[in-house]
Amino acid sequence: MSNVQQETFDIIAKQAKIELDTIKPESTLKDLGIASLDAIEVIFDIEEHFNINLPNEDTDFDNGTVGQLVEAIERQLAQKTSE
């Protein structure tokens, strides 16, 4: 598990008040019982933690998986370091 994935899972678990081991890369935020308002908070926390901005297309709360979210974060971090 990458640091980005671990940190993302930590943020989701803390924000959603769920056990860390219930989060899997294939889980959606909806699967984890995270309502859309809470999901927005999760995204804000992630953006603040990593100092990035996630495009809206990378934050599909209903169908997007946690794994896809981690990939989106890693893409943003890669773009940031290449600037």
CA distance 12 to 29: 9
- Whichever domain contains 44, its CATH number is 1.10.1200.10
CA-nearest of 45, 76, 40 to 61 is 40
Give the number of domains in the chain: 1
pTM for the full model? 0.88
CA distance 55 to 13: 22
CA distance 11 to 14: 5
As a whole number, mean pLDDT of residues 56-70 equals 83
- Bigger pLDDT: 1 vs 2: 2
83 DSSP assignment: -
pLDDT tens digits for 3-51?
999 999 999 999 989 999 999 999 999 899 998 888 889 999 999 999 9
pLDDT at 45: 95
pLDDT at 55: 83
Domain range enclosing 23: 3-82
